[in-house]
Amino acid sequence: MYSLEEIKSTQLSKKLGGPPVFHDGKISRIVFEDRSIILSIEILSDRNPRLEKNTLVSLKLKNVERFTLASGNVKDGQLTIHDLDIRREDDGLHMRLETIEGEISDILFETIELYEK
């Protein structure tokens, strides 16, 4: 799912033995800071066999060029992730996030940091 060298060098990736795969996680917080977006994500262990327990991570997207965030029903103050995909494209890194309700958000940015909370 991830082809990013930046993610492979993070502490979380080293702990997991490779880049994490996000299936059915939850976003509990989105912070906008300068030209960065920080997503606080709980990755659910029952859908991610490399995790022994639910894991809280922060995904910091730096030098954001543009974004669209979509949200349908927010249950208990959280968005539930169905699919999260990050790809390198000609104009930068592109994140596509789909919720279980089918809402799609897109973010175009330059660099990424991923760390365990």
Neighbour order of strands in the sheet with 36-43? 66-68, 104-109, 92-99, 79-89, 26-33, 36-43, 55-62, 111-116
Q: Residue 1 has which token pair?
A: 């799912």
Q: Residue 83 has which token pair?
A: 């699919």
Q: pTM score, two decimals?
A: 0.74
Cα-Cα-Cα-Cα dihedral sign, residues 64, 71, 25, 40: positive
The amino acid occupying position 37 is I
Would you place residue 8 in the very low, low, confident or very high pLDDT band (cuts 50, 70, 90)? Answer: low
Higher pLDDT, 106 or 55: 106
Q: What is the pLDDT of residue 32?
A: 94
Pairing of strands 55-62, 66-68: unpaired
Q: What is the pLDDT of residue 42?
A: 84
Cα Rg of the chain (Å, integer): 13
DSSP, collapsed to helix, strand or coil, labels residue 30 as strand
